[in-house]
Amino acid sequence: MRRLRNVKIVATLGPASDTYDMIHALHVAGADVFRLNMSHGSHDEIREKHRIIRQIEQDTGSTIGILADLQGPKLRVGVFAQESEQLDEGDAFRLDLDNAEGDRTRVCLPHPEIFAALEPGASLLVNDGKIRLRVERCGDDYADCTVVAGGVISNRKGVNVPDVMLPLAALSDKDRADLEFVCALGVDWLALSFVQRAEDVVEARDLAKGRAAILSKIEKPSAVTHFEAILAASDGIMVARGDLGVELPVQNVPPIQKRLVRKCRTAAKPVIVATQMLESMIESPMPTRAEVSDVATAIYEGADAVMLSAESAAGSYPVEAVTTMNNVAIEVEQDPTYTQIIEASRITEGKSIADGIVSAAREIAETTDIKAICCFTQSGTTALLTARERPRVPIIAMTPLVGTARRLALSWGTNCVLTETLDRFKMAVVAAARAARSEGFAGPQDQIVVTAGVPFNVPGSTNILRVAPCDERLIFSTDPE
The catalytic site residues sit at 35, 76, 217, 275
Cβ count within 10 A of residue 114: 22
Identify the CA nearest to 462 among candidates 412, 368, 388: 388
